[in-house]
C-alpha cells in the first residue's frame, strides 16, 4: 500500500469519525434540550443538562467545521476533481450548505435557553412566564434541529449509495 493510499484510507476513516461525532453529539444535545422543558426535574438538574448540552455542542461544531475540508481533501486524493463534474459530490455539498443555513438559525435561536434557566433558578421575574418562554423557544427550534439531523442522514445516504444511479 502506498503512502498516498494509506493517507486516503486514514482520511476516510477520520471523515466517517467526524460524521459519527457530529450526528451522535447533536442527537444527545437535542435530547438534553428537549428535557429542559420537564418542570418535574429540579432546576439544578435542568441547568446541568443545559451546561452539558452547551459543552457537547462544542464537539458538534468542531466536527462540523472539519467535515468540509476533510471531505474536499479526500475527494482530491481519490481523483474526484473537479467536484462540480461529479453529481453525487455536488449533492453532498448542497445538503451541507442547507445544514450550514439550518445550523446558523438554530445556534442564534438556542443561545438564550441557559439564560432563562438561570433566571428561573435565581427567582428573577415571573417563573411561569419564563417557563413558557423556555418551552416555546425549544418547541420553535425543534423542527430546525430535526431538519439538520435529516440533512446529515441524507448526506450519509448520498455518500454510501451506489454511484451508478447518479
Q: Write the pLDDT tens digit of every residue in 99-124.
A: 888 888 887 777 788 889 999 999 99
Whether the pLDDT of residue 162 is over 90: the answer is no
- Residue 1 pLDDT: 76
Query: In this predicted model, what pLDDT tens digit does every residue of 38-95 receive, in sequence order?
Result: 999 999 999 999 999 988 988 888 888 899 899 899 888 888 888 888 888 888 888 8
162 contacts: CB under 8 Å, gap ≥ 6? none
Residue 82, preceding peptide bond in cis (omega within 30° of 0):
yes
Residue with the larger pLDDT of the pair 91 and 126? 126
Expressed in percent and rounded to 5, the helix, strand and coil fractions of the chain are: 85, 0, 15
Whether the pLDDT of residue 166 is over 70: the answer is no
This model's pTM is above 0.75: yes
Whether the pLDDT of residue 164 is over 50: the answer is no
**Are the C-beta atoms of 53 and 29 separated by less than 8 Å?**
yes
Whether the pLDDT of residue 165 is over 60: the answer is no
136 contacts: CB under 8 Å, gap ≥ 6? none
Amino acid at each position: 500500500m502506498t503512502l498516498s493510499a494509506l493517507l486516503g484510507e486514514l482520511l476516510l476513516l477520520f471523515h466517517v469519525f467526524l460524521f459519527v461525532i457530529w450526528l451522535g453529539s447533536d442527537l444527545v444535545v437535542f435530547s438534553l434540550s428537549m428535557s429542559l422543558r420537564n418542570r418535574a426535574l429540579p432546576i439544578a438538574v435542568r441547568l446541568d443538562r443545559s451546561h452539558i448540552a452547551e459543552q457537547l455542542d462544542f464537539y458538534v461544531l468542531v466536527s462540523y467545521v472539519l467535515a468540509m475540508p476533510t471531505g474536499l481533501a479526500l475527494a482530491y486524493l481519490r481523483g474526484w476533481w473537479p467536484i462540480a463534474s461529479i453529481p453525487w459530490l455536488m449533492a453532498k455539498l448542497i445538503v451541507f450548505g442547507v445544514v450550514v443555513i439550518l445550523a446558523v438559525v438554530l445556534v442564534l435561536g438556542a443561545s438564550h435557553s441557559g439564560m432563562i434557566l438561570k433566571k428561573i433558578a435565581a427567582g428573577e421575574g415571573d417563573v411561569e412566564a419564563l417557563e413558557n418562554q423556555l418551552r416555546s423557544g425549544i418547541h420553535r427550534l425543534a423542527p430546525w434541529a430535526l431538519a439538520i439531523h435529516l440533512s446529515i442522514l441524507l448526506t450519509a445516504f448520498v455518500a454510501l449509495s451506489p454511484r451508478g444511479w447518479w
